Structure 1
Amino acid sequence: MAAETSFDIGIETGDGHTLVTVSGEVDVFTSPRLRQVLFDPVLCAQPRTVVDLHAVTFMDSTGVGTLVAARRWATSREQTIALVCSAGPALRLLGLVGLDKVFEVHETVEAAVAP
């Protein structure tokens, strides 16, 4: 039986970008929902997808794998993915596995969507 975890996704479309705001726990139970959004060619149709991870309270390797797969998929479609996280569990985990050097990481949404 799956454990109940706190998780929410918000989606906004801006000028040339899609903002995906994630909050709560990104783990084996919730990553499929994040993957569904990030791989949706209609929801993420803009040239740039920005994933705001500020409100993420926990992220496991499944969440990291989802972000890596989404980056690979976006690149194959000539799109980009940027992450927003200045501190917290998401940035800490990305740093531990060296992905803070692979992903474009910004401290604010404004910086991530700036031309």
Structure 2
Amino acid sequence: CERLVEVGCKVLMPWGAPIGTGLGLNNIYGLRSLRAHFPGIPLVVDAGLGLPSHAAQAMEMGYDAVLLNTAVAKAGDPVVMARAFSLAVEAGALAAGADPMDARDMAAPSTPVFGKAIL
């Protein structure tokens, strides 16, 4: 991708998964690494999305957009599925802008325990 940017590409479009599979984001680590490496370049997840939750996840990772067709075209109700994707993209973008908490490997309650019974 570095070479693409060097020769003037203004947008990078990595796959979520192979086109038309609906498998979602197959390489979360790779997609996160791309976002971290190219913070100023618009990134669009292209191909492989099958569910609105896949689109929300891409947006939550800081991607700028998703491009899809098969997930809507092959849905039982394409109009409803398109609406679901629209809402998911909006929700994912809002979540990314809200500075979500970092995931933790261990439990760490955020509710104070002072003054509460411990059973």
- Give the structure-2-normalised TM-score: 0.41
Greater helix share, structure number: 2
Q: Which has the larger radius of gyration?
A: 2
**Structure (1/2) with the larger strand percentage:** 1
